Structure 1
Amino acid sequence: MPHLSTRFYSRPPNANRFHLNLRPSTSVLRLPNRKLIPAMSFSSSSASKMNTRQVKNPGTTDPRKLSHVLKYHDQTKHSFTKYARGPHGLDWANQPNPFRRYISAPLLPLMHLPSRTDHRTQTPSSLSNYNHDNAPLYSSLFTSLPPPQPLTVSSISQLFYDSLALSAWKTTGYSTWSLRVNPSSGNLHPTEAYIIAPAIASLCDSPFVAHYAPKEHALELRAKIPSRFDLFNNFFPKNSFLVGFSSIFWREAWKYGERAFRYCNHDVGHAIAAVAMAAAELGWDVKILEGMGYKELKKLMGLDIFPEFVIPSKPIKGKIPEIEFEHPDCVLVVFPSGATGFDVNYEKLRLLMEEFSALDWKGKPNLLSKEHFCWDIIYSTAEVVKKPLTIRNAFSVDPFSSSGVCSESSYKGFTVREVVRKRRSAVDMDGVTAIDRETFYQIMLHCLPSGSRSREKQKRQLALPYRVLSWDAEVHAALFIHRVKGLPKGLYFLVRNEDHLGELKKAVRSGFVWEKPEGCPRDLPLYELARGDCQQLAKGLSCHQDIAGDGCFSLGMVAHFEPMLSNKNVWMYPRLFWETGVLGQVLYLEAHAVGISATGIGCFFDDPVHEVLGLTGSKFQSLYHFTVGGPVVDRRIMSLPAYPGPNIDA
């Protein structure tokens, strides 16, 4: 996703601001002269003045921790007068290696898989039993899951190949770089993945913990788990296994400075959704093991055997190899769809994890950079939002809910693999491509957390891939419609948790009309707020990036923010970003499935976005932007196959 990837400023290039003239009588969103104009029309929103004294009803949350999180969020906002603190330029000599390897850990190769477009060129070592005729179509997964596949080396190979593997190499001039199935801010890939699984024939003869190495499409065996642990028979149904995620903050901080903690958690969300979609292709369901705490996750992935990173009291620069540590984020349970028999006793699981420190852990992590710069607030915030073990968290799996269908013909007949592996982050949009209203509505239906549930509100996360998350939907979408045939240009709002509708109407501008647009499906809570050409507005709000206005539509993901942190706890802060990443992954895949493209946008002016919507305070906050439209292909860049790829790291 582009975040000023070709231009890096410590200060904005100018201090232009927008003049918003909302005329409720005609519901028109106007921009004088349809261009950026210097005007003092935006005041400093009250959202930028949060402090400890303004925190009310902290509930079960420690007020000091809540204050810290609000401070971090406020401090890392971009504004028209300054960007969040980051490097003044890119230290290319110390660009982090995007591939973590565990030196001396045994390598367990996985099988490579063909796609419909390249199966004739596959070698005998490719997965030969992949049947294109039986491969599920992308759109079909939102209706029902196929029968579960057995847990084998081929199915595990397919899961990683279609979720976290390399998708291509790109080259131009003297530069060569890899792309992955899961997207990442700036293609920096801070997210690392682990598998914790029972014995799998032709892979490992005992239960094991392994790190996934995407460049090799292989597993690095970190440890074998003795049979006396009986991890899977005691807690999970047959043919279940775990996938864990961790983040290397340094990879993002190298380029984005203090705002990197946000982007790392976007990427966790993208990875979660990528695994959920690939698992669905195999007839497997996925759920976050939410009761697990930071300490338990650290032991489970073998990350507690390495030295602790001591957080400095201020930003520092130098050789700091320990800054490359991995922060454990979450672990997913992957299991056959429809499986029952879960008995996740978190207290017993905690006691078992205590013994993991004594396993024979193999491999030493490679060094990613020679020198580093530490933005201390990233690490102090990560410390504050660490989740403890929550024993009372019951593990439950809701029945699969199918998503709504209003325009099945919008999809191009691609299989799941063709969509996920062909996904790319567009660098530019053509400013011309338009989509039909029915196609737009179909994309929006797949953005709903509860799926198609007759006479029930959108709230619970029951549809693919949102069902992987363990909390009710907390993220909505404010949409700028540019080129959707049959829909007036303007500002719209998708309400993904209808319990928030009344609160949202009170929080935003009183002049918004909140009307269902023409032809909108009855069960799609999409509302028109105001009409007008928002192209320049969308560009300006997204750090002056043309891509936000040159697509068919763009959006800001607006989270139910401070009340969520206050009522549930501060560890929901990264989880809100995970939810935006899951939603963003759906937008990526939907765009490619209907024949266009998309890009996540992490660089936007936070409080000016709130000002456009009329939001004040910290009840709702914009966390992630996205744009969907017709991509501009740079013909100077050559694509190369993902495997075998060039023998380089970046």
Structure 2
Amino acid sequence: MLNISSRLSLFLHSPLFFSPSTTFLSNTLRTASMSSSSSSPNEEESLNQVFKYHNQTKHSFNNYARGPHGLDWANQPNPFRRYIGSHLLPLQHLPLSSSTTPSPSYASLFVSPSTLQPLSLSTLSQLLYDSLSLSAWKTTGDSTWSLRVNPSSGNLHPTEAYVIAPAIGSVSDYPFVAHYAPKEHSLEVRSVIGGEGLFGLLPKGAFLVGLSSIFWREAWKYGERAFRYCNHDVGHAIGAVVVAAAELGWDVKMLDGLGYSDLEKLMGLGGLGKFEIPSRPVKGKLPSIEFEHPDCVLVVFPHGSGSEFSLDYECLSSKISEVMEELEWKGKANSLSKEHVCWDIIYRTAEAMKKPLSIDSRFGIEPFQGSELISDGIYKGSLVRQIVRKRRSAVDMDGVHVMKKEIFYQILLHCLPSGSQGGKVKQGKQLAFPFRVLSWDSEVHAVLFVHRVEGLPNGLYFLVRNEDHFEDLKKATRSAFEWEKPEGCPDNLTLYRLSKGDCQQQSKRLSCHQDIASDSCFSLGMVARFDQALCDKNVWMYPRLFWETGILGQVLYLEAHAVGIAATGIGCYFDDAVHEVLGLKGSAFQILYHFTVGSPVLDKRIMSLPAYPGPTIDA
């Protein structure tokens, strides 16, 4: 039996650890990419850029990824994008007490679809109110800042959202494109679409939600590593939209066959002009750095209409060009900062991952697969709307609270992509809520550092989320690991114990020496199949791996709050130190996100204020 506390302590304290070189990873990638008959020189160059970025932005014990030496408060980006001159359409404020739509229980979302509600001003308002709006304001001393329903690294919120919808009563007599303004909980109508537009290709009652990223908002604080965090946030936003849609009986699917230019046209982006990427990091007045990078478009549609829903991406792309290129766009994007710093590698990497139209991509809606519920009492009847709007990121954990084993197992059951209801289910396909929004089989697993779970030995555990990767994971990790199912583990839960032992100090050191990773009930690292995912599915899989971690993180946030505790995403961790703990060599598997779940310590110096109406400041 491997005791991680003793065997790895020497490594974790060693000052001699260095990240592998960029050349090593690039050569690994080059070998893999050249083995594919479909590889082209441009594809190989793009893949090398991704590996260069990923390796260059790793943290290690001796060196953090490049970033600002201090925070330039005078140029902190405005967290609220506005389109000056566009028509502002106020949405309805629907607190739980006044909602006309009964909120389903949180646990029920994982079991079966909710009662279908029609698309209207009220339901569209609720979708955005429960996914992307402000959730509160916080104040202490001279500082005041806003919080949102969807979490964000450093509360910087690089993610913007757009609604592309058919005519909706009391909203618009025509199909329209609008930017969502969370501070006002309003839609900024940027253009009206004549005729039926795109919506003849979609089921009745369907509409689109587009997500984009302003890299500068994260780069202001985090420098080169910001591209990772922006994509975590995209995943959290996707998860938030899926949860809010499910309350209303709506399903959500990513239109992942569309290309970058299709997304840009749908959201009306590109108005800031082409951003010229410098050859090195530079500081100055660079207003074009505030452009929005289109990430993805989600189709939201009534649950159960999937059988009548098929899409030809080439036809859809052609329709987008036909309809959207002729539109007149209203409003000018506001300025976010006076001066900027351009971390050039972020923009080179984003450029390398501009996805083309995938003509051969298959769009399909798989049947809903439910997840196992161990006990009705675990969530104490919590309602979905209560959970999503009270979600907060914990700042500290108490280091005392002990989680019941059945709660631990239940949380992990809801982290499985294929569900676990109705007999043995092989994990891999994304069929369960909320992961069914994604179009690819799961590529992300979780290594867990268990600290305080009643009846479960402390130690290192592994949640396998795609069983096709199981043998590769066993071969890639330390030979001394046990790979044994823990006592009382549900049959459908693909959880394995790797090693017993106290791993609190290891988890703390691996998460950039942060107590919050060791003072929780458990913390975890999300491990993605990396080389093969990029080589099999192409370079644009890189941000999608982070999106999958963000959706998984969103589940962990909501699960924690639903059982009365809290969680926090941790973007700062020592990448290759985690790989060493697991025994991983090369880049076949890579750590992409850390998380921690436990009982929070509240800072009583900070006062909470209602989300609406809030202060007039942009913060």
TM-score, length basis structure 1: 0.92
Name the SS of the counterpart of 1:343 in structure 2.
coil
Name the SS of the counterpart of 1:141 in structure 2.
helix
The one-letter amino acid paired with 2:314 is E
Instruction: Please point out which of 289, 312, 318 is paired with 1:351.
Output: 318
Partner in structure 1 of residue 530 of structure 2: 561
CA contact (8 A) 1:48 1:74 kept: no
Alignment of 1:424-439 (within 5 A): 424-439=392-407
Report the Cα distance in structure 2 between the residues aligned to 1:45 and 1:357, rounded to whole angstroms. Answer: 46
Cα deviation for residue 395 of structure 1 reads: 1.2
2:479 paired with 1:498 = no
The one-letter amino acid paired with 1:56 is T
Alignment of 1:300-379 (within 5 A): 300-339=266-305, 340-355=307-322, 356-379=324-347
Name the SS of the counterpart of 2:32 in structure 1.
coil
Indicate how the Cα distance of structure 1 residues 280 and 373 shifts in structure 2: closer, same or farther if over 3 A, else same: same
Partner in structure 2 of residue 13 of structure 1: none
Cα deviation for residue 407 of structure 1 reads: 3.1
Partner in structure 2 of residue 517 of structure 1: 486
CA contact (8 A) 2:81 2:333 kept: yes
Report the Cα distance in structure 1 between the residues aligned to 2:506 and 2:197, rounded to whole angstroms. Answer: 57
Indicate how the Cα distance of structure 1 residues 37 and 63 shifts in structure 2: closer, same or farther if over 3 A, else same: closer
Partner in structure 1 of residue 3 of structure 2: 28
Report the Cα distance in structure 2 between the residues aligned to 1:39 and 1:579, rounded to whole angstroms. Answer: 32
Instruction: Please point out which of 106, 118, 131 is paired with 1:138.
Output: 106
Partner in structure 1 of residue 593 of structure 2: 624
Cα deviation for residue 350 of structure 1 reads: 1.7
Report the Cα distance in structure 2 between the residues aligned to 1:147 and 1:336, rounded to whole angstroms. Answer: 10
Partner in structure 2 of residue 149 of structure 1: 117
Cα deviation for residue 345 of structure 1 reads: 2.1
Q: Mean alpha-carbon deviation: is it higher for 62-71 or for 289-298? A: 62-71
Cα deviation for residue 455 of structure 1 reads: 3.1
Deviation by residue 1:170-210 (Cα, 9 ceiling, x = unmatched): 00000000000000000000000000000011111100000
CA contact (8 A) 2:65 2:224 kept: yes
Instruction: Please point out which of 25, 30, 35 is paired with 1:55.
Output: 30
The one-letter amino acid paired with 1:308 is K
Partner in structure 1 of residue 80 of structure 2: 99
Partner in structure 2 of residue 193 of structure 1: 161
Cα deviation for residue 39 of structure 1 reads: 3.1
CA contact (8 A) 1:247 1:326 kept: yes
Report the Cα distance in structure 2 between the residues aligned to 1:561 and 1:607, rounded to whole angstroms. Answer: 14
Partner in structure 2 of residue 267 of structure 1: 233
Give ranges in structure 2 of 5+ residues lacking alignment.
Answer: none
Aligned length: 610
2:596 paired with 1:647 = no
Deviation by residue 1:233-270 (Cα, 9 ceiling, x = unmatched): 2x110000000000000000000000000000000000
Name the SS of the counterpart of 2:93 in structure 1.
coil
TM-score, length basis structure 2: 0.96
Deviation by residue 1:578-622 (Cα, 9 ceiling, x = unmatched): 000000000000000000000000000000000000000000000
CA contact (8 A) 2:12 2:509 kept: no
Report the Cα distance in structure 2 between the residues aligned to 1:321 and 1:232, rounded to whole angstroms. Answer: 35
Alignment of 1:74-473 (within 5 A): 74-115=55-96, 119=97, 129-130=100-101, 134-227=102-195, 229-233=196-200, 235-339=201-305, 340-355=307-322, 356-452=324-420, 454-473=423-442
Indicate how the Cα distance of structure 1 residues 648 and 495 shifts in structure 2: closer, same or farther if over 3 A, else same: same
Name the SS of the counterpart of 1:435 in structure 2.
coil
Name the SS of the counterpart of 2:31 in structure 1.
coil
The one-letter amino acid paired with 2:31 is K
Give ranges in structure 1 of 5+ residues lacking alignment.
Answer: 1-23, 120-126
The one-letter amino acid paired with 1:348 is C
CA contact (8 A) 1:407 1:439 kept: no
Cα deviation for residue 40 of structure 1 reads: 5.1
Instruction: Please point out which of 8, 14, 23 is paired with 1:39.
Output: 14
Report the Cα distance in structure 1 between the residues aligned to 2:358 and 2:426, rounded to whole angstroms. Answer: 28
Deviation by residue 1:534-576 (Cα, 9 ceiling, x = unmatched): 0010000000000000000000000000110011100000000
Q: Mean alpha-carbon deviation: is it higher for 29-38 or for 598-607? A: 29-38
2:584 paired with 1:615 = yes
Cα deviation for residue 67 of structure 1 reads: 1.1
Partner in structure 2 of residue 73 of structure 1: 54
The one-letter amino acid paired with 1:170 is K
Deviation by residue 1:456-501 (Cα, 9 ceiling, x = unmatched): 3100000000000000000000000000001000000000000000
CA contact (8 A) 2:8 2:581 kept: no
Report the Cα distance in structure 2 between the residues aligned to 1:483 and 1:35, rounded to whole angstroms. Answer: 24
Cα deviation for residue 44 of structure 1 reads: 4.8
CA contact (8 A) 1:36 1:536 kept: no
Report the Cα distance in structure 2 between the residues aligned to 1:89 and 1:332, rounded to whole angstroms. Answer: 37
Partner in structure 2 of residue 5 of structure 1: none
Indicate how the Cα distance of structure 1 residues 438 and 35 shifts in structure 2: closer, same or farther if over 3 A, else same: farther
CA contact (8 A) 1:316 1:373 kept: yes
CA contact (8 A) 1:431 1:551 kept: yes
Report the Cα distance in structure 2 between the residues aligned to 1:493 and 1:550, rounded to whole angstroms. Answer: 20
CA contact (8 A) 1:47 1:618 kept: no
CA contact (8 A) 1:52 1:64 kept: no
Name the SS of the counterpart of 1:57 in structure 2.
helix
Name the SS of the counterpart of 1:487 in structure 2.
coil
The one-letter amino acid paired with 1:94 is N
CA contact (8 A) 1:45 1:611 kept: no
CA contact (8 A) 1:85 1:258 kept: yes
Report the Cα distance in structure 2 between the residues aligned to 1:393 and 1:536, rounded to whole angstroms. Answer: 46
CA contact (8 A) 1:410 1:439 kept: yes
CA contact (8 A) 2:12 2:577 kept: no
Q: CA RMSD in A?
A: 1.6
Cα deviation for residue 349 of structure 1 reads: 1.8
Report the Cα distance in structure 2 between the residues aligned to 1:337 and 1:455, rounded to whole angstroms. Answer: 25
Q: Mean alpha-carbon deviation: is it higher for 493-502 or for 446-455? A: 446-455
CA contact (8 A) 1:550 1:629 kept: yes
Report the Cα distance in structure 2 between the residues aligned to 1:40 and 1:314, rounded to whole angstroms. Answer: 30
Cα deviation for residue 103 of structure 1 reads: 0.3
Report the Cα distance in structure 1 between the residues aligned to 2:23 and 2:429, rounded to whole angstroms. Answer: 31
Name the SS of the counterpart of 1:287 in structure 2.
strand
Identity %: 67
2:604 paired with 1:635 = yes
Instruction: Please point out which of 454, 458, 464 is paired with 1:485.
Output: 454
Indicate how the Cα distance of structure 1 residues 38 and 624 shifts in structure 2: closer, same or farther if over 3 A, else same: closer
CA contact (8 A) 1:141 1:280 kept: yes
Partner in structure 2 of residue 7 of structure 1: none
The one-letter amino acid paired with 1:146 is S
Cα deviation for residue 77 of structure 1 reads: 0.1
Name the SS of the counterpart of 2:543 in structure 1.
helix
Report the Cα distance in structure 2 between the residues aligned to 1:45 and 1:307, rounded to whole angstroms. Answer: 37
